[in-house]
């Protein structure tokens, strides 16, 4: 029987929420990481290691680590710093495992890599050396690098999402980068400047399974798919209740299936459309969408779900999970068809990821 762990990053620490592959009953452990605000947690399944990225108002940024499923934790930020005189790293915002190391995205936006399991870090300086950096502007959450996409079969390829600078791609392991925002809108710019090279406010960036170059992007201004690694983006927002939302989650096996949580709009409160909660799913790469509501609150749902707070597991059928800004955690064990609430009173949830242990 498999063990399923939800890795839940919150404003007041990390939590591990555990079940078996039936995914009916869950136990909650935490808060870990000395109740530091944790922006993102991931697992390296090969090493059975869980990492948690965050920052504390007093003690600064760090990446926490447990190799015994939460029993004991260590923390490090050795090397997780810019050069003297630069604006210091305030927070660690995102994590990703690549084929040759661990990546961390930070605020102000930049990328770091660890080749020793998070003990020490080095700056992937090529990204901040990009000539567009002077144009990068902080979004509502700050100037944050909140998504990192790696390819298991190609260590040289990296994508990052920065608010609000957009998507950048490296084909050489981070030495050089190019913006990949063509086709994504910046509605907050003057009418004749809405498709700039950089400056788009990406909210979520995920890669479809299957080894193709398909990416999906939830943006502040629309929902997009790219079939060529982000060189060109196509709008797939028709059929959605809003062009605005934060997270997106790919299916573990089907590249045409994607899950979203559109909110009612960027200046309308950023909660569930009509205050009725729904996860939206496409089975055809964004051509059509359906709302999945069974078991989700259908009145007074004035909550939002942030960039990294929607995830799937790799079981069959896939589990889907999301956590709200109000501290509620919802789960589906049937690809979104039905939902249950696992927790109602956690701290504000920043991120949800999964780990399945066979």
Partner 1 sequence: MAHDGRPGGDDNLEAAAPRLPSVCLVLPRALLSLFPDASREVELSAATVGEAIAALDQRWPGMRDRLCDATPRIRRHINVVVDGQRARIDTALKDGDRVHVLTAISGG
Contacts with partner 1 by CB under 8 A lie at 34, 57-60, 62, 75-78, 80-86, 88-89
Least Å distance, CB 90 to partner 1, is 8
Least Å distance, CB 347 to partner 1, is 11
Strands ordered across the beta sheet of 49-56: 38-44, 49-56, 60-66, 74-76
Least Å distance, CB 54 to partner 1, is 13
Least Å distance, CB 352 to partner 1, is 23
Least Å distance, CB 7 to partner 1, is 21
Output b/e per residue, 265-297; b: 16+ Cβ within 10 A: ebeeebbbbeeebbbbbbeebbeebebbbebbb
Which CB sits closer to partner 1, 57 or 267? Answer: 57
Least Å distance, CB 62 to partner 1, is 8
Which CB sits closer to partner 1, 24 or 122? Answer: 122
Which CB sits closer to partner 1, 80 or 263? Answer: 80
Least Å distance, CB 271 to partner 1, is 21
Which CB sits closer to partner 1, 277 or 346? Answer: 346
Torsion angle of the four alpha carbons 213, 155, 106, 14, in this order, in degrees rounded to the nearest 10: 90
SS in 3 state form for the chain?
Answer: CCEEEEEEEECCEEEEEEEECCCCCCEEEEEEHHHCCEEEEEEECCCCEEEEEEEECCCEEEEEEECCCCCCCEEECCCCCCCCCCCCCCEEEEEEEECCEEEEEEECCEEEEECCCCCCCEECCCCCCCHHHHHCCCECCECEEEEEEEECCEEEEEEEEEECCEEEEECCCCCCCEECCCCCCCCCCCHHHCCCCCCCCEEEEEECCCCCCCEEEEECCEEEEECCCCCCCEECCCCCCCCCEEEEEECCCCCCCEEEEECCCCCCCCCCHHHCCCEEEECCCCCCCEEECCCCCCCCCCCCCCCECEEECCCCCCCEEEECCCCCEEEECCCCCCCEEEECCCCCEEEEEEEEEC
Least Å distance, CB 348 to partner 1, is 11
Least Å distance, CB 284 to partner 1, is 44
Which CB sits closer to partner 1, 55 or 105? Answer: 55
Which CB sits closer to partner 1, 82 or 302? Answer: 82
Which CB sits closer to partner 1, 36 or 271? Answer: 36
Which CB sits closer to partner 1, 86 or 316? Answer: 86
Which CB sits closer to partner 1, 80 or 165? Answer: 80
């Amino acid at each position: 029987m498999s063990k399923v762990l939800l890795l839940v990053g919150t404003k007041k620490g990390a939590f591990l929420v555990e079940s078996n592959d039936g995914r009916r009953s869950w136990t909650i452990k935490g808060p870990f990481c000395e109740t530091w605000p944790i922006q993102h947690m991931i697992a390296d399944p090969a090493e059975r290691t869980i990492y948690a990225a965050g920052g504390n108002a007093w003690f600064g940024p760090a990446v926490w680590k447990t190799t015994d499923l939460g029993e004991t934790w260590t923390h490090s930020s050795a090397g997780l710093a810019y050069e003297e005189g630069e604006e210091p790293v305030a927070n660690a915002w995102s994590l990703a495992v690549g084929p040759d190391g661990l990546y961390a995205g930070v605020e102000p936006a930049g990328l770091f890599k660890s080749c020793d399991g998070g003990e020490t870090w080095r700056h992937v300086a090529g990204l901040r050396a990009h000539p567009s950096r002077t144009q990068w502007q902080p979004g509502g959450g700050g100037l944050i690098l909140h998504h990192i996409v790696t390819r298991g079969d190609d260590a040289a390829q990296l994508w990052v999402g920065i608010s609000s600078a957009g998507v950048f791609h490296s084909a050489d392991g981070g030495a050089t980068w190019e913006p990949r925002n063509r086709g994504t809108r910046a509605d907050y710019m003057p009418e004749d400047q809405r498709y700039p090279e950089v400056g788009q406010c990406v909210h979520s960036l995920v890669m479809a399974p299957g080894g193709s170059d398909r990416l999906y992007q939830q943006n502040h201004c629309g929902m997009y798919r790219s079939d060529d690694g982000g060189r060109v983006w196509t709008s797939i927002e028709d059929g959605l209740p809003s062009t605005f939302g934060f997270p997106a989650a790919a299916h573990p096996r089907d590249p045409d299936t994607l899950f979203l949580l559109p909110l009612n709009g960027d200046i309308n409160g950023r909660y569930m459309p009509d205050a009725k909660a729904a996860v939206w799913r496409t089975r055809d790469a964004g051509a059509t969408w359906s709302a999945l509501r069974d078991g989700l609150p259908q009145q007074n749902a004035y909550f939002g779900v942030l960039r990294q707070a929607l995830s799937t597991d790799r079981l069959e059928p896939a589990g889907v999970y999301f956590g709200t800004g109000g501290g509620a955690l919802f789960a589906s064990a049937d690809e979104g068809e039905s939902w249950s609430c696992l927790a109602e009173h956690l701290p504000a949830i920043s991120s949800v990821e999964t780990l399945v242990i066979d």
